[in-house]
Structure 1
Amino acid sequence: MFALSKVLRRTQRLRLGASSVVYSKDILQSGGGERSFFTLQPCSIVSYKREPLPRFDDISSLSQRALSSNAGTKSDQEEDDLEDGFSELESSKSGQDSSSDDEDEVAPEADDDDEIQDLDLVSRKPVDNKPSELFKTIVSAAGLSVGSALDKWVEDGNDITRVEVAKAMFQLRRRRMFGRALQMSEWLEANKKIEMDERDYASRLDLTVKIRGLEKGEADMQKIPKSFKGEVVYRTLLANCVAACNVKKSELVFNTMKDLGFPLSAFTCDQMLLLYKRVDRKKIADVLLLMEKENVKPSLLTYKILLDVKGATNDISGMEQILETMKDEGVELDFHTQAIVARHYVGAGLKEKAEKVLKEMEGESLEANRRAFKDLLSIYASLRRQDEVERIWKICESKPRFEESLAAIHAFGKLNKVKEAEAIFEKIVKMDRRASSSTYSVLLRVYVDQKMLSEGKDLVKRMAESGCRIEAATWDALIKLYVEAGEVEKADSLLNKASKQSHTKLMMNSFMYIMDEYSKRGDVHNTEKIFLKMREAGYTSRLRQFQALMQAYINAKAPAYGMRDRMKADNIFPNKSMAAQLAQGDPFKKTAISDILD
């Protein structure tokens, strides 16, 4: 069994003898049960006496054991950019917050097979990628509800079998057609075509949250028969709470799972790590200590999260120590893990190390490692290696996969090769499969980076004429395009328009582009307005938002009354740069002149 203390000691330099984890108990006011939580007692001896699993609602931050050190830490903006680049780490991807019904288009296949299997949402993974007949029927139901198409399927004498349903569900999920998958699930239960089991209810819960939101999913969960509310259902709810960055609900679900007696698993811990990676990295150490105490072996995702956080904080030495630990434990690096490492080497300016990892990803036969193409194109572009991008694209150009084509558009855009990116886009459009909104969004992002406002507007117009629904990624790119062009008021107008669409949830960055611009101008009114809009959109407050808000007051030379209290109310604690901002904008601060006047 892996000793988790090795990760803690080798990657975090934790002084386990300086303070220890003990448990204290409190009686819940509401339920009368016992609640245990972490407290710190300096210079005490660690006790390994078996105690109830700690609950995360009162877990303390082990600040002296923080995963990242202040030295060499990247700016918040850089960290957010890096996090955006590694969204594939999330077992429930951030894009799911803005999922649409996907009723009018076949989305490209997504690399989320692991997500489907980790959540245990399908009873049978197909051994081949050939679409099932049931899947074809559902996809071809243009202009009809899925229920009507399934009614006709049965009328034509076709059987609805468990195997066929599982295969169709897997293929719908893989293509991120969550709306149709939900309709199929509801039809199956309403028509009593299958006997629902726990996985079916968990799958329904997951799809409901993706399409209709977390609150609707929680309401529907209450309707699930008690006998089917097992670990699979609760871990599905936990993953979706984490995807929504809802700390309170995530911790509540974690505690409920503990109270119900479910064993602590690597999956559950990984979800909490993902959550704290986004909202409070100091608590990552707490989760790792809990895993060590309960003898939970880290998964590959556990290591990916640690590698990503270390790299994002520019602690390359710490990242390499984690790699050594993985090697000692016999954990093999997959393409995605190697890509994380390579990207952080690029970010740290370690070009030779990055290229060494990329060659390892290529292996002896690049053609045999097709799954690595997407990351190779992106990272070589970041290294400004046009020759390598062209070499890899040449291999797959004759018969490119959809995701490779999107990666190639993005890569050539990074290299300022707009014509090459446009040519690949046109090839996708001419494919038998109709281009989705994601296709347009990638090229639009190229125009954003090149500040090609006119071309961006024309592309969005073309997209609308093609019948594609404008989704969150497209709105994000378009809003940034106007901000980059200096038309922040137009961007703000687009934000208002997009916010009124019921089928999509805008990305956090879409708000931040505008908020940062208003902040630079010292426009306190509009900065506060965007701050409020983010809350209304369901985004919990983060340090970055308060930094932009505080900077607006500083640039306007206006007093920021009660800013510390506002942060405290949202459980946000200032870092070094935010503390400096608060001091600069403190309306009651003392100066040499004020001391004389006093």
Structure 2
Amino acid sequence: MKRLQFRTAVSLWRNSSAIPNAIRLLAYSNTRTLTACFSSSSSAASDDTLYRRLSRAGDPSLSMVPILEEWAEQGRSATQEELQKILRQFRKFRRFKHALEISTWMTGKGHDDILPGNMAVQLDLTSKVHGLAEAEKYFYSISNNFRNFQVYGALLNCYADAKSLEKAEAVMQKMKELDHAGTLSYNVMLKLYSRMGDHEKLEALDQEMVEKGINRDRFTFIIRINAYASSFDMERMEKVLLEADPVVGADWNAYAAAANGYLKAGATGKAVAMLKKAEPLVKIKKRKFAYQILLSLYAKLGIKDEVHRMWNLHKKIGKLSNISYLCMISSLMKLDDLDGAEKILAEWEAQKETFDFRIPNLLISAYCMKGLLGKAESIVNRLMEGGVEPNASTWSRMALGYHKSNQMAKAVEATKKAILTSHPGWKPHIATLASCLDYLKRNADMDTFNWIIRSVEEKHPNIHDTIMEYAKNGNPESQLVDQMGKDDQSLEDEMFGSKNDGMTLAE
């Protein structure tokens, strides 16, 4: 049980958007074989696993259900334990839509296993995929008999994720009344107050934990360290670090968080000292993630030799994951070492593992930002030659690159491809879209103009009015905001937190 609580708490810090994974290990606890769905088969090739099939279908617009059904129809076996592991991995890598599909499919095939933990995961994923309103509908559809600490905790996470302060505080009060509030839920609220910049409420809630005898774990202290690091209050950060020493003194996370705070405050010498103190404390099982964090911090400090030293240590651990390559390429981009980043991309391509569009898209962004469109095009061509069709994000980057270089005919073509390959949730560069429409009007190409308008209205009605407003009344060029690094920033946010959060921690 202690290990379960620890891993649940660790998952709290997977990303900066308010503790989405806190309940992920509590679901699907029954590990019986889904005999109603699967029959055993010993003829399957060892490398043809269900996880491999599902993970290869990386396009968010594709459904996981046909793959699951095909697996069952072929007489292949899978236990709930295996499916739980797949679900956890998908959530870890932020494939929330696919995780929800797997979760829903599992629930539909195992009606006897609908437990509060299952519902908590379903609630969390529903919020991420369909929004807070749908998550609330799902919560109110759950019988009061099943609304235990897991389900309330999931709802609290949803509100915290959305920074819905009043609703989060109301749920927290309800959990206190039901005696459901423990260290984990207090940490959720502390994290939310930190994100909102409300240090007064943060300290008041921390004091409440002391008065009520609620255990303050290492994450409780690290949240406070992050809060003060983000507000450049080094004096209070150092005070909390000293106060926390008996609890977190042997934890690399605390010193890495402090290093991030010093870095933001411009105290580079102290930041390096914290990193040197953190590195020897990294546990063997945590080396992969720890090295990614330390590597990225050294990149932010501009210390290239240390970046490569940490990368070499990381490579010695074993097989590198996609997030490892994302981290290194992003770090080299911060150092303006695009040649080095290109070499890392080539290494990733050579290993031929699960494809991740974010990796080539990082360099495409960098080249487009610098006007090196030939190099960006070479990556896109390489993808297509390898049988990979670029996604909407790739084409959006290319469109913005062409727009910045005033190659509007190419920007229009890239925009059309982005729309054609887009899926719900796609966020285009509005100013680029508007500039393309403006260009088409000026060149009297109303067929293409109307096609874009119709397509956006059909596929993405939520942005249609904004685009029309830009096209009719605004000067698109004056509104151009360079968003090329958004995905790069989201990677950094996942590892270090948003601009207001300080550094977040992960398992």
Which range, TM-score by smaller chain? 0.5 to 0.7
Map of 1:93 onto structure 2: 15
Letter of the 1:299 counterpart: D
Matched, 1:180 2:90: no
Q: Pairwise mapping of residues 10-49 of structure 1 onto structure 2 (< 5 A)?
A: none
CA distance 1:397–1:230, change in 2 (3 Å): closer
Deviation (angstroms), 1:425 = 1.3
Which whole-Å CA distance do the structure 1 matches of 2:47 and 2:116 have between them? 25
| CA contact 1:90–1:274 (8 Å) conserved in 2 | no
Which whole-Å CA distance do the structure 1 matches of 2:54 and 2:191 have between them? 34
Matched, 1:252 2:174: no
CA distance 1:276–1:176, change in 2 (3 Å): same
Helix, strand or coil at the partner of 2:214: coil
Deviation (angstroms), 1:338 = 2.6
- The one of the two structures with greater contact order (alpha-carbon pairs below 8 A, sep at least 6) is 2
| CA contact 1:412–1:418 (8 Å) conserved in 2 | yes
Matched, 1:347 2:264: yes
CA distance 1:367–1:258, change in 2 (3 Å): closer
Letter of the 1:209 counterpart: S
| CA contact 2:262–2:268 (8 Å) conserved in 1 | yes
Q: What is the CA deviation profile of residues 295-349 of structure 1, one whole-angstrom value per residue up to 9, with x for unaligned ones?
A: 322232222221112112222221111111111x333453433322112222233
Which whole-Å CA distance do the structure 1 matches of 2:280 and 2:229 have between them? 24
CA distance 1:380–1:326, change in 2 (3 Å): same
| CA contact 1:335–1:361 (8 Å) conserved in 2 | yes
| CA contact 2:190–2:202 (8 Å) conserved in 1 | yes
Map of 2:327 onto structure 1: 407
CA distance 1:172–1:294, change in 2 (3 Å): same
Q: What is the CA deviation profile of residues 30-81 of structure 1, one whole-angstrom value per residue up to 9, with x for unaligned ones?
A: xxxxxxxxxxxxxxxxxxxxxxxxxxxxxxxxxxxxxxxxxxxxxxxxxxxx
CA distance 1:158–1:481, change in 2 (3 Å): closer
CA distance 1:164–1:418, change in 2 (3 Å): closer
Which whole-Å CA distance do the structure 2 matches of 1:258 and 1:459 have between them? 54
Helix, strand or coil at the partner of 1:330: helix
| CA contact 2:64–2:98 (8 Å) conserved in 1 | yes
Helix, strand or coil at the partner of 1:413: helix
| CA contact 1:122–1:199 (8 Å) conserved in 2 | yes
| CA contact 2:253–2:278 (8 Å) conserved in 1 | no
TM-score by length of 1: 0.56
Deviation (angstroms), 1:160 = 5.2
Deviation (angstroms), 1:131 = 9.9
Q: What is the CA deviation profile of residues 362-403 of structure 1, one whole-angstrom value per residue up to 9, with x for unaligned ones?
A: 329999844322122212222222222222333445754432
Letter of the 1:270 counterpart: N
CA distance 1:116–1:337, change in 2 (3 Å): same
Helix, strand or coil at the partner of 1:264: coil
Decide which of 206, 231, 236 is 2:154's aligned counterpart: 236
Map of 1:148 onto structure 2: 66
Which whole-Å CA distance do the structure 2 matches of 1:346 and 1:287 have between them? 28
Map of 1:69 onto structure 2: none
Helix, strand or coil at the partner of 2:129: helix
| CA contact 1:476–1:506 (8 Å) conserved in 2 | no
Map of 1:314 onto structure 2: 232
Letter of the 2:232 counterpart: N
Decide which of 8, 13, 21 is 1:115's aligned counterpart: 21
Letter of the 1:135 counterpart: Y
Deviation (angstroms), 1:427 = 1.9
Decide which of 391, 408, 413 is 1:469's aligned counterpart: 391
Deviation (angstroms), 1:251 = 2.7
Matched, 1:362 2:279: yes
Which whole-Å CA distance do the structure 1 matches of 2:190 and 2:47 have between them? 35
Which whole-Å CA distance do the structure 2 matches of 1:424 and 1:248 have between them? 46
| CA contact 1:374–1:407 (8 Å) conserved in 2 | yes
Matched, 1:442 2:362: yes
Which whole-Å CA distance do the structure 2 matches of 1:365 and 1:212 have between them? 38
| CA contact 2:364–2:376 (8 Å) conserved in 1 | yes
| CA contact 1:428–1:435 (8 Å) conserved in 2 | no
Which whole-Å CA distance do the structure 1 matches of 2:154 and 2:48 have between them? 26
CA distance 1:151–1:387, change in 2 (3 Å): closer
Map of 1:269 onto structure 2: 186
Matched, 1:217 2:139: no
CA distance 1:437–1:154, change in 2 (3 Å): closer
CA distance 1:244–1:357, change in 2 (3 Å): same
Which whole-Å CA distance do the structure 1 matches of 2:11 and 2:146 have between them? 29
Map of 2:51 onto structure 1: 135
CA distance 1:212–1:118, change in 2 (3 Å): closer
Which whole-Å CA distance do the structure 1 matches of 2:28 and 2:389 have between them? 32
CA distance 1:400–1:263, change in 2 (3 Å): closer
CA distance 1:196–1:372, change in 2 (3 Å): same
| CA contact 2:248–2:254 (8 Å) conserved in 1 | no
Letter of the 1:466 counterpart: V
Higher helix share: 2
TM-score by length of 2: 0.65
Map of 1:504 onto structure 2: 425
Deviation (angstroms), 1:483 = 9.8
Deviation (angstroms), 1:278 = 2.4
Which whole-Å CA distance do the structure 2 matches of 1:305 and 1:511 have between them? 35
Which whole-Å CA distance do the structure 1 matches of 2:224 and 2:13 have between them? 15
| CA contact 1:89–1:304 (8 Å) conserved in 2 | no
Which whole-Å CA distance do the structure 1 matches of 2:157 and 2:233 have between them? 28
Cα RMSD for the two superposed structures:
4.4
List runs of 5+ in structure 1 lacking aligned partners.
Answer: 1-87, 97-111, 515-535, 538-551, 553-598
Which whole-Å CA distance do the structure 2 matches of 1:333 and 1:478 have between them? 46
Map of 1:56 onto structure 2: none
Q: Pairwise mapping of residues 408-423 of structure 1 onto structure 2 (< 5 A)?
A: 408-423=328-343
Helix, strand or coil at the partner of 1:391: helix
Decide which of 304, 307, 316 is 2:222's aligned counterpart: 304
Deviation (angstroms), 1:200 = 0.9
Which whole-Å CA distance do the structure 1 matches of 2:11 and 2:399 have between them? 26
Matched, 1:430 2:350: yes
Map of 2:452 onto structure 1: none
Map of 1:522 onto structure 2: none
| CA contact 2:252–2:281 (8 Å) conserved in 1 | no
Decide which of 204, 207, 213 is 1:286's aligned counterpart: 204
Q: What is the CA deviation profile of residues 12-41 of structure 1, one whole-angstrom value per residue up to 9, with x for unaligned ones?
A: xxxxxxxxxxxxxxxxxxxxxxxxxxxxxx
| CA contact 1:119–1:236 (8 Å) conserved in 2 | no
Map of 2:255 onto structure 1: 338
Q: Pairwise mapping of residues 560-579 of structure 1 onto structure 2 (< 5 A)?
A: none
Deviation (angstroms), 1:118 = 6.9
Which piece of structure 1 moves more, 440-449 or 162-171? 440-449
| CA contact 2:295–2:307 (8 Å) conserved in 1 | yes
Matched residues, number: 399
Which whole-Å CA distance do the structure 2 matches of 1:305 and 1:142 have between them? 33
CA distance 1:257–1:425, change in 2 (3 Å): same
List runs of 5+ in structure 2 lacking aligned partners.
Answer: 1-9, 32-45, 434-461, 464-477, 479-507
Higher Rg of the two aligned structures: 1
Which whole-Å CA distance do the structure 2 matches of 1:203 and 1:463 have between them? 35
